[in-house]
Structure 1
Amino acid sequence: MQRPVLRDHVAAGILDAAAPVLAERGDAVSMASIAEAAGVGRATLYRYFPNREALVAGMVERALDDLGARIADARVDSVPVPEGIARLVRAFLAEGRKYAAVVQLKPVREQKARMSPGGGEERVSGPLRALVARGVADGTLRSDVPEDVQFEMFTALVERALGLVLAGRLGAEEAGAVVGSAFLEGFRGARE
């Protein structure tokens, strides 16, 4: 039996290799191609991820873990709302680039639809929702637009920015500046 650390290392290597292959080739990529990109045999790939759904679930969980850690490190609760927005944008662009195109895969969209509140996604969405609520409460953000709408608009801007970064149309820094200013200008509260 493999040691847990080695097992985790092999699984992480497979996930790291699978993300760009799936992003480039989409749903049509074979598990054999993923194994080849990861430098492992198909038997090894199937030992760690017995099917495509398990692989996609692993990728989603890893992306949420990585992004959640980056968001926690950003400490958005300890800075003014505009700085918190800028920090969140940087976190999303830094971690999201790796998985942005993969999120467009049908199995990932289906997996996201099944996620339970309070799970991995809460580590990502919770700090943003709290920051929006704080911004509305202190007048930095508009109070006439529901907080959930502001949340959805922010995430839509970030997703589009990630697409532009992946397409080479914007650099990550430029995309981050555009998202931050567009969101803050569009939802500027009465206090600002």
Structure 2
Amino acid sequence: MSRGEAMRDRTVAAIIDSAAVIMATQGDGASMSRIADAAGVGRATLYRYFPSREALLRAMAAQSVEELAARIADADLEGIPAGAAIARLARGFIAVGSKYTVLTTAGIQRSGEHPDIDARLVEPIRALFRRGAADGSLRADLPADVMADLFSGLIRAALQLTADGRAGVEEASAAVVSVFLDGARAGGPP
């Protein structure tokens, strides 16, 4: 990587990280000037990399996918018991989701920029739920895609708790794991 490319990557990362922090506290209405100031760049530089707020939000969405995929890859989902893997997933999703909370409020939708998003983010979760059902640590009467949808719903609720300031990442993650596993363990309530 050339020196120029490295500098560009650092600048883009600084802008995205600053935008995430500013927008998490000030909402979607945070000014581009404020984001540029927080990133330590001028407005012209910000607009050179991200010509519009929508372009910046799309870049944030792409970065959130990359961060989630890295968390999943680092979680060693196949090498640990299902309950521990679910705890790692919850913590990773809530930590990353809390950082990029504005993406939910701004209504950013999944785009074609990550055609492999299912393989990178969804399929590892489904595989974990299939493994848990097969080894008896999770209910076998619910398909993996249903379990993934239910888990996702709890994650969304936990993200709202963190966005509202009613829970931190650790507390929200523990709540998701507790509620999900108490209702998903083999022999759990119908």
How far off its partner does 1:135 sit? 1.6
Q: Is the 8 A contact 1:18 1:34 kept in 2?
A: yes
User: What is the CA–CA distance in structure 2 between the aligned matches of 1:107 and 1:34, rounded to whole Å?
Assistant: 19
Correspondences of 1:36-185 after superposition (within 5 Å): 36-99=37-100, 101-108=101-108, 110=109, 112=110, 114-115=111-112, 118-120=115-117, 122-185=119-182
Q: Is the 8 A contact 1:64 1:121 kept in 2?
A: no
Corresponding residue of 1:31 = 32
How far off its partner does 1:9 sit? 0.1
Q: Which amino acid aligns with 2:62?
A: E
User: What is the CA–CA distance in structure 2 between the aligned matches of 1:184 and 1:120, rounded to whole Å?
Assistant: 25
How far off its partner does 1:85 sit? 0.7
User: What is the CA–CA distance in structure 2 between the aligned matches of 1:152 and 1:116, rounded to whole Å?
Assistant: 23
Q: State which drifts further: 46-55 or 160-169.
A: 160-169
Deviations, residues 57-98 of structure 1 (Å, cap 9, x unaligned): 111111111121122111011111111111111222333321
Deviations, residues 134-192 of structure 1 (Å, cap 9, x unaligned): 1222232223223222111111212221222333322332222211111111122249x
- Show structure 2 runs of 5+ residues with no match: none
How far off its partner does 1:121 sit? 5.5
User: What is the CA–CA distance in structure 1 between the aligned matches of 2:105 and 2:168, rounded to whole Å?
Assistant: 23
| Matched pairs, number | 187
Q: Is the 8 A contact 2:127 2:144 kept in 1?
A: no
User: What is the CA–CA distance in structure 1 between the aligned matches of 2:176 and 2:144, rounded to whole Å?
Assistant: 18
Deviations, residues 24-67 of structure 1 (Å, cap 9, x unaligned): 33333332332233222111011111222221111111111112
User: What is the CA–CA distance in structure 2 between the aligned matches of 1:117 and 1:34, rounded to whole Å?
Assistant: 25
User: What is the CA–CA distance in structure 2 between the aligned matches of 1:51 and 1:117, rounded to whole Å?
Assistant: 20
Q: Which amino acid aligns with 2:182?
A: E
User: What is the CA–CA distance in structure 1 between the aligned matches of 2:31 and 2:129, rounded to whole Å?
Assistant: 41
How far off its partner does 1:120 sit? 4.0
User: What is the CA–CA distance in structure 1 between the aligned matches of 2:113 and 2:128, rounded to whole Å?
Assistant: 21
User: What is the CA–CA distance in structure 2 between the aligned matches of 1:29 and 1:102, rounded to whole Å?
Assistant: 10
User: What is the CA–CA distance in structure 1 between the aligned matches of 2:12 and 2:114, rounded to whole Å?
Assistant: 26
- Show structure 1 runs of 5+ residues with no match: none
User: What is the CA–CA distance in structure 2 between the aligned matches of 1:60 and 1:122, rounded to whole Å?
Assistant: 17
**Identity among equivalent pairs (%):** 46
Q: Which amino acid aligns with 2:78?
A: D
User: What is the CA–CA distance in structure 1 between the aligned matches of 2:75 and 2:164, rounded to whole Å?
Assistant: 26
Q: Is the 8 A contact 2:20 2:99 kept in 1?
A: yes
User: What is the CA–CA distance in structure 1 between the aligned matches of 2:107 and 2:154, rounded to whole Å?
Assistant: 23
User: What is the CA–CA distance in structure 2 between the aligned matches of 1:44 and 1:116, rounded to whole Å?
Assistant: 24
Q: CA RMSD in A?
A: 2.3
Q: TM-score, normalised by structure 2?
A: 0.86
